[in-house]
Amino acid sequence: MRGFTLPEVITVTLVAVIIGGLVLGIMVQNTRLFVQESEKVTQGLGLNDALVKIKSSIKEASSVASSYPQASPEFITGASEIVLKLPSIDSSGSIIDNTFDHIVFTKLSGKLYFKLFPNSLSTRAAVDQLLAKSVEGVDFRYFDISGNEVAATSAVKVRVSVSLKQNVGLNIQTSTATTEANLRND
């Protein structure tokens, strides 16, 4: 009975190491690609969720406020930040006349935040929620009933665009999504 010679064993071992190295390289590359694509999908879903939250808040709001000075720092409605007035509700879910909670959407340090500041009579709870990371820009535009651009406090419709930065390999790409909604105005 004849066994393998030393040169045969070394040759087979070298071939196995080379094939193993190639397979490992392919697995590492595919894992990196999977992580990049998963991150893009996660950011896209986060952007979509943020726009849904903004749109539903605009629909629920009665008007756009010029600012919310009770917060520190003060929030001021403009092209990159919005303060919405939302009718306060009591414990039975009824609207409290002439009493408002305030919703703020703001970009701070590359992140988009949703903040809810309830009136002391309201049963809503305060909220400070991160909606999206890697935010390059936020742009709020304000329109009247005819579709003409107006001052924020005169608006009946708000359009918002949010841009995210995404690292794709060695490149940085920006993706932008837009939504619009009419204010409740009742």
What's the pLDDT tens digit per position in 137-185?
Answer: 999 999 999 999 999 999 999 999 998 887 666 677 788 888 889 998 6
* Assigned domain for 76 exists: no
Establish if 122 belongs to a structural domain.
no
The answer as to whether 66 is a domain residue is no
Cα 33 to Cα 24, 30, 95: the distances in Å are 14, 5, 51
Range of the domain at 173: 31-61+107-116+127-182
Cβ atoms within 10 Å, residue 57: 19
CB-based contacts of 154, cutoff 8 Å, min separation 6: 142, 144
101, part of any domain: no
Q: Could you give the number of structural domains in the chain? A: 1
Please check whether residue 45 lies inside any domain of the structure: yes
For residues 185 and 68, give the distance between their C-alpha atoms in angstroms, rounded to a whole number: 19
What's the CA gap between 146 and 155, in Å, rounded?
11
Note the pTM of the prediction, 2 decimals: 0.76
